[in-house]
């Protein structure tokens, strides 16, 4: 079985790329802040640097610079996009703590990553500039922010589920991921999901990780935390033995923290990530059409290479099919 280097560790291809990184998509905590205009940058930030990023910032900025801009008639014909263009900025619910998907550089204030890039490229398509206002969300607040229209969309490794589809619309999926197990780098007695029996295992409250552990590790002692940083800290501090959640989230944790590692093969069903949108509006058709075009013209693959591809050393995977 092929092996892939991830942050200095060798994992099987199945252990990394059950990620069917999907079709063009879009960016998980509670205060509102503006993402400034994106300044030119050069080189790649590396794990352990000031920002904790492993993203190739020069390549990232190049992707944004080449992003398409919609014909004015397309935007004018869509009420959701028209309102965003009139405002001049897209309001995203997301996170700025994920090193591969959406991370804020404390020195510059710039947010970059796969999810952040999706949002900024969509903003450019609508307004002509890759500008977003980022509202931090948790797994508990995403639907509420969409329902009260505090944000235009949610891009935050947001899993599409039937229960959530009752409350919000999902464009995409633009990415797929199974679940994985994160432990301390010194841990030797957990090497698969079967080894979680009797162990203290963290996952995010109100996430799909809770049901997943009930099904695949029913004898684990599950402890829930509000968000990814708290789950990660619980492992690092020895308060839990392992942390189970979507592999995409754990890849970011491993990329910037030398004291943790992934073990075993990914498990569970593929978890499709979508762009959360207001229920029953014309946003869904507009965003899905843009996602399909973004995949076809190579923008999605270029963004993947500048972000996730800096850790997953392989060619971009085939994205999942976008719903109509």
Return d(Cα 174, Cα 31) in angstroms, integer: 26
Q: What angle do CA 72, 78, 79 make, to 5 degrees?
A: 115
Q: What is the mean pLDDT of the chain?
A: 84
- Write down the pTM of the prediction: 0.70
Return d(Cα 152, Cα 83) in angstroms, integer: 10
The predicted pLDDT at position 183 comes to 97
Helices (H), 190-227: 208-216
170, 26 Cβ separation under 8 angstroms: no
Q: Where do the domains of the chain lie, and which CATH numbers do they carry?
A: 3-176+272-310 (3.40.190.10), 178-270 (3.40.190.10)
Helices 299-306 and 283-296: crossing angle in degrees, nearest 10, is 80
What is the enclosing helix (H) or strand (E) of 86?
A: helix 79-87
Confidence of residue 35 (pLDDT cuts 50, 70, 90): very low
CA trace torsion 65, 44, 310, 276 (10° rounding): -50
Identify the weakest region by mean pLDDT among 157-166, 245-254, 286-295.
245-254
Instruction: Decide if pLDDT at 208 tops 70.
Output: yes
For residue 77, give every residue at least 6 positions away whose Cβ sits within 8 Å of its Cβ, in sequence order, or none.
none
pLDDT in tens, 264-298: 888 998 888 999 999 999 999 999 999 999 999 99
Confidence of residue 52 (pLDDT cuts 50, 70, 90): low
């Amino acid at each position: 079985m092929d092996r892939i280097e991830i942050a200095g560790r060798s994992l099987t291809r199945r252990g990394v790329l059950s990620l069917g990184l999907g079709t063009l998509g879009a960016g998980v905590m509670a205060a509102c802040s503006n993402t400034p205009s994106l300044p030119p940058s050069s080189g790649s930030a590396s794990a352990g640097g000031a920002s904790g990023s492993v993203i190739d910032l020069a390549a990232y900025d190049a992707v944004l610079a080449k992003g398409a801009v919609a014909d004015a008639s397309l935007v004018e014909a869509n009420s959701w996009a028209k309102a965003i263009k009139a405002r001049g900025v897209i309001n995203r619910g997301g996170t700025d703590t994920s090193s591969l998907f959406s991370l804020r550089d404390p020195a510059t204030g710039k947010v970059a990553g796969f999810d952040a890039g999706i949002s900024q490229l969509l903003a450019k398509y609508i307004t002509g500039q890759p500008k977003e206002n980022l509202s931090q969300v948790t797994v508990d607040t995403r639907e509420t922010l969409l329902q009260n229209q505090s944000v235009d969309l949610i891009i935050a490794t947001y899993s599409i589920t039937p229960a959530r589809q009752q409350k919000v619309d999902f464009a995409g999926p633009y990415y797929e991921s199974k679940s994985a197990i994160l432990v301390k780098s010194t841990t030797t007695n957990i090497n698969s999901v079967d080894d979680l029996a009797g162990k203290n295992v963290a996952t995010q409250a109100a996430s799909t990780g809770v049901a997943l552990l009930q099904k695949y590790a029913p004898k684990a002692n599950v402890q829930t935390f509000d968000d990814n940083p708290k789950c990660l800290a619980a492992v690092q501090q020895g308060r839990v033995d392992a942390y189970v959640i979507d592999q995409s989230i754990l890849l970011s944790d491993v990329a910037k923290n030398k004291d943790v590692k992934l073990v075993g093969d990914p498990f569970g069903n593929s978890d499709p990530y979508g762009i959360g949108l207001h229920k029953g509006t014309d946003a869904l058709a507009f965003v899905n059409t843009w996602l399909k075009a973004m995949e076809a013209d190579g923008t999605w693959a270029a963004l993947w290479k500048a972000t996730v591809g800096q850790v997953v050393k392989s060619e971009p995977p085939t994205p999942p099919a976008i719903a109509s």
